Amino acid sequence: MSNAEPNEKRMSTGLTSLLAGVVMILGCAMWALSSLFHLAPLLLIQGSSLSAFGPEQLQALALILLKLNAQAYDIGLVFFGFWCGLIGYLIFRSTFLPRIIGVLEVLAGLGYLTLLWRPLAHYLYPTTSRSPAPEKYH
């Protein structure tokens, strides 16, 4: 029966590392999308192919794209938080790294996951919040 235990541990570790890889790929995809939202306003403002829109409309669209950039970047940070938690768990279960590193990595992941709840993120990081908290949270 002792042979079954290492196989189960190896299988759960393999699934966890696979999940961590998928989560990181999703986070990178969100950051790539965020980069596109960051560059798109430059094309809108200097592009002459959108002559059907007035300058005010182009500026409003550019502002919307910049706000989408911030949202997509924050979503990428949430994926990064999940990845940190999974990697921290794997480090904690490993035998070749100190367990405290895994615990610290999980805590770092929890720090990134605070971005899921905007009022908590605004309370913990008031100077770095991108948008102000709703009035009822002041």
b/e per residue, 63-79, with b = 16+ CB within 10 A? eebeebbeebbbbbbbb
CA-CA distances (angstroms) from residue 17 to 45, 91, 135?
A: 43, 11, 41
Q: What is the pTM of this model?
A: 0.74
Work out whether the CA dihedral 126, 132, 133, 137 comes out positive or negative: positive
> What are the tens digits of pLDDT across the range 101-129?
999 999 999 988 887 887 887 888 787 65
Q: Could you tell me which residue, 55 or 28, shows the higher pLDDT?
A: 28
Q: How far apart are CA 81 and CA 101, in angstroms?
A: 15
Where do the structural domains in the chain lie, given as residue ranges? Answer: 4-137
- CA–CA distance, 14 with 67 (Å, rounded to integer): 38
